[in-house]
Amino acid sequence: MQTSDVVVVGAGLLGSAVAYGLARQGVSVTLLDEGDQVFRASRGNFGLVWVQGKGVGKPDYARWSRGSARLWPQLAAALLEDTGVDVCLQQRGGLHLCLTESEFLERQARLQELQDAVGADYPFEMLDLKAARTLLPALGPTVFGASYSPMDGHVNPLKLLGSLHQACRQRGVAIHTRQHVTTVAKQGSGFEVQAGTQRWQAGRVVLAAGLANRTLAPHIGLQVPVAPNRGEVLITERLPPVLSYPNNLIRQTDEGTIQVGDSMEEAGYDDNVSTPVLGNIAARAVRCMPALGELRLVRSWAALRVMTPDGFPVYQESDSLPGAFVITCHSGVTLAAQHALTLAPWLAGGDRPAGINGFGVNRFCSTRPTEGPLDAH
């Protein structure tokens, strides 16, 4: 039996970020992961650290995302110092492309609503095509315009995941892969986590198992109705630097490839690519930047987003089993800095961070639970 202060189940972007944050605080952590045979959004995403447009109807989410973007340089610097890995964070801003006037006006209204809700620290500009081309000269003549915000950026998401794992190891986190966790149970004053014949004990447990949180959360008395949403992505051959800013559809990676994406599809647990969807993604990208039509495509993939019914995160401690937590979100790249630097201290026993009270699971219940008030942590 191995013991630690905290067991984290799932070594995707969420589990790894909080494990790293916990270890930075001197907490002993065991990180368990099932491995390549299950769905892993953290290996198939678009790499944006994105704020603009997020949080309509939930200003706390807009603030949480904005706060993460602000903390990101600190996370990138800490990972560089601990591991020597540069995750290639670029935060000089990003654009959201609008193909028609009505899209443009809708976008403007959306961002204005968010700015009104969040306050002045939510900068954005609406750019007509001429102004947008000063940032992205490759834009085609049928683009109507774009919103630009200096809050946005991107990273290399695979370097991020790898460096989180490396930093965890360097700070003493015990990482066990190929461990399919089947049981989490109360044991004495803490918890016992079981995978096959292996068992681990800890004072606290954090479920960060992506889509598998749906089946694991009931072990700690919680229901987390996450569901898959498929995203397909295309990658071109490498080019010298040509795109200075990422946008919602197209970005140039630090390695020179152009990443084009991404669909949002209800396809159950099917994570195969489909030619018609990839065709639509390519056609839309070529309409936005005609020169992309000359490039060779070298790779495509699909991955499953981990979506809650309202699209906002879940950060919940169990009412019936205090010390057991479940966490999930669909913007694990953007929120990695909050997870490592703000959420981890709470998971270690500190105060619940301001601004996440609206991210409990009780919002999905049709009736209020009788055992306690909503989000009473």
Q: Which chain residues interact with ligand FAD by CB under 6 A?
A: 9-15, 32-35, 38-42, 44-48, 50, 179-181, 208-210, 212, 231, 233, 262, 303-306, 328-334
Contacts of 188 (CB under 8 A, 6+ apart): none
H/E/C letters for each residue in 171-229? CCCEEECCCCEEEEEEECCEEEEEECCEEEEEEEEEECCHHHHHHHHHHHCCCCCCEEE
CB of 42 to ligand FAD, least distance (A): 3
Token couple for 172: 């003493």
Bridge partners (DSSP) of residue 299 are 235
**Min dist. Cβ of residue 266 to ligand FAD (A):** 13
Which residue's CB atom is positioned nearest to ligand FAD?
12
**Given the complex with ligand FAD, which of 39 and 109 has the nearer CB atom?**
39
Q: How far is the CB of 346 from ligand FAD (least distance, A)?
A: 17
Judged by beta carbon, residue 100 or residue 267, the one nearer ligand FAD is 267
Q: How far is the CB of 9 from ligand FAD (least distance, A)?
A: 5
Considering beta carbons, is residue 35 or 119 the nearer one to ligand FAD? 35
Instruction: Between 130 and 136, name the residue whose CB sits nearer to ligand FAD.
Output: 136
Query: In 3-state terms, what secondary structure has residue 166?
Result: helix
Backbone φ, ψ for residue 195 (5° rounding): -135, 115
CB of 267 to ligand FAD, least distance (A): 11
Rank residues 50 and 245 by Cβ distance to ligand FAD and give the closer one: 50
Residue with tokens 């560089």: 80
Residue 363 to residue 268: CA distance in whole angstroms: 23
Residue found by looking up tokens 């190929």 in the block = 178
